[in-house]
Structure 1
Amino acid sequence: MARKKNITKDNLISWYMEFVLDNNHQPKSVYSFAKENNFEESGFYQFYGSFEVLEEAIFSEFFHHTIQVLQKSDDYQNYDARNKLLSFYFTFFEILTANRSYVVYALESVKKDLKKLKSLQSLRRNYTQFVEDLNIERIELKQETLEKVQNTSIKESSWMHLLITMKFWLDDVSPSFEKTDIFIEKSINARFDLMDIKPLKSIIDFGKFILKEKVNFN
């Protein structure tokens, strides 16, 4: 009997993706999956409790690989929030494209409502934390509850934007998915232009001035 393999998380992800693409369904059991790839069944559970947990980890790995690529760039470290987010999107969708057959398999059945897909839960947590860490400029409300609402709104709207972009990419049939690249650039620039608080700050400052000096109008 051949000696059982020592395995890693990357092994399991690679073997799993290969299996579902060859067969268009999950392995029948962890036992059969382990037997086919010559490793002990218990080795699987050292990393993942089920195939569903493994599927969730795949999208999380796409995120982490994106961050690793970005952090190798000296230019990225000096970007503002807008350009860091653009860089994330372009890199993330390059990675999705490199694994498009699997991503289509995983998302196609629920692409009309990706929010319901459990395998995106870890990606959601990672991505919304990434957005929070960008420190996108926001209005100083000086009220803790309102600031929490504002922070949550930015993170949740950013997550919805990522889902919408993934849906657009799934439907994109243009060469090299060039329409998705255009969608990314235009939509993110539009989001940041809408969130530009400088004009609003000016209005607020002017309003404060008027209130302070209103006696001069009497």
Structure 2
Amino acid sequence: MATKKIKLTKETIVSLYMDYTLEHNEKPKSVYLFAKLNGFTEAEFYSFFGNLESIEKEIYTMFLEKTVELLSKDPNYETYDMKSKLLSFYFTFFELLAANRSYVTMSLNENKNQLKNLIQLSDLRTHFKNFIAAITTDEVRLQQEKIQEFQEKAIQESAWIQFLFTLKFWLEDGSPNFEKTDVYIEKSVKLSFELMNVAPINSLIDFGKFIFKEKMQKN
């Protein structure tokens, strides 16, 4: 029986890839088999992606793009300060991840070598840093003495590292509705902005207590 022909788009391929991975508990073995199973040709596939690995990267980029799209629909978003925009980003992004938790958990825990897992986030890293650059306000820049280009990049890099720690915490979070991740986001973002203001001690202590408590409960 012939497979019903579908209208092929980038989003369709991504959806089919995620479904296949979850249903078979493994990634497709080749572009040929993946295309044949879903009723399109390799040539059609290559008009959207260069290989299967590029789909994995695109999935996380699409999560970010959808997050930014949803934020832009809020008429009040542009009036937010940088801290509020970043918090809004985190909460929205992780809601999207939660809706796709089975795939995200599987893909980011596939290899024992975490560096190989993080390769999937390489495009997301670029887009995330661009997002941070876009929301960095003059007020934040003025808080940094004689800010140079490398200091702008330092803000983006530190934000990315914070994002990775948050992602790791979320992957290990077993609380209902990932409530502990929400607390983690609020405390870590608050701390990062107070560090910029060189007034971190209270938030540092509060964040440290939260992390210590979580570690003790898991041990």
- Superposition TM-score tier, normalisation by shorter sequence: 0.7 to 0.9
Q: Deviations over 1:58-85 (max 9, x none)?
A: 0000000000000000111110000000
Tell me how far apart the structure 2 counterparts of residues 190 and 51 of structure 1 sit (CA, whole Å).
Answer: 39
Tell me how far apart the structure 2 counterparts of residues 115 and 37 of structure 1 sit (CA, whole Å).
Answer: 27
Q: Deviations over 1:10-49 (max 9, x none)?
A: 1100000000001111112111111111112211100101
Q: CA deviation at 1:141?
A: 4.2
Q: CA deviation at 1:110?
A: 5.1
- 1:156 alignment partner in structure 2: 157
Tell me how far apart the structure 2 counterparts of residues 186 and 28 of structure 1 sit (CA, whole Å).
Answer: 42
CA distance 1:180–1:55, shift in 2 (3 Å):
same
- 1:124 alignment partner in structure 2: 125
Q: CA deviation at 1:95?
A: 0.3
- 2:176 alignment partner in structure 1: 175
TM-score, normalising length: structure 2: 0.83
Query: Is residue 188 of structure 1 aligned with residue 182 of structure 2?
Result: no
Q: Secondary structure at the match of 1:117?
A: helix
Query: Is residue 73 of structure 1 aligned with residue 47 of structure 2?
Result: no
Q: Secondary structure at the match of 1:74?
A: coil
Q: What stretches of structure 1 move > 2 A for 4+ residues in a row?
A: 1-6, 109-116, 138-142
- 2:86 alignment partner in structure 1: 85
2:110–2:117 Cα contact (<8 Å) kept? no
Bigger Cα Rg = 1
Identity score, percent: 45
Tell me how far apart the structure 1 counterparts of residues 133 and 112 of structure 2 sit (CA, whole Å).
Answer: 26
1:66–1:92 Cα contact (<8 Å) kept? yes
Tell me how far apart the structure 1 counterparts of residues 159 and 59 of structure 2 sit (CA, whole Å).
Answer: 21
Structure 1: gaps of 5 or more residues: 199-218
- Kindly indicate whether structure 1 or structure 2 has the higher relative contact order, using CA contacts under 8 Å at least 6 residues apart: 1
Q: Deviations over 1:159-215 (max 9, x none)?
A: 0000000000000000110000000001101111111269xxxxxxxxxxxxxxxxx
CA RMSD of aligned residues (A): 2.1
Q: Secondary structure at the match of 1:49?
A: coil
Tell me how far apart the structure 1 counterparts of residues 177 and 113 of structure 2 sit (CA, whole Å).
Answer: 23
- 1:6 alignment partner in structure 2: 7
1:96–1:103 Cα contact (<8 Å) kept? yes
Q: Deviations over 1:86-118 (max 9, x none)?
A: 000000000000000000011013588468621
Q: Give the aligned residue type for 1:20.
A: T
Structure 2: gaps of 5 or more residues: 200-219
CA distance 1:84–1:2, shift in 2 (3 Å):
closer
- 1:109 alignment partner in structure 2: 110
CA distance 1:95–1:2, shift in 2 (3 Å):
closer
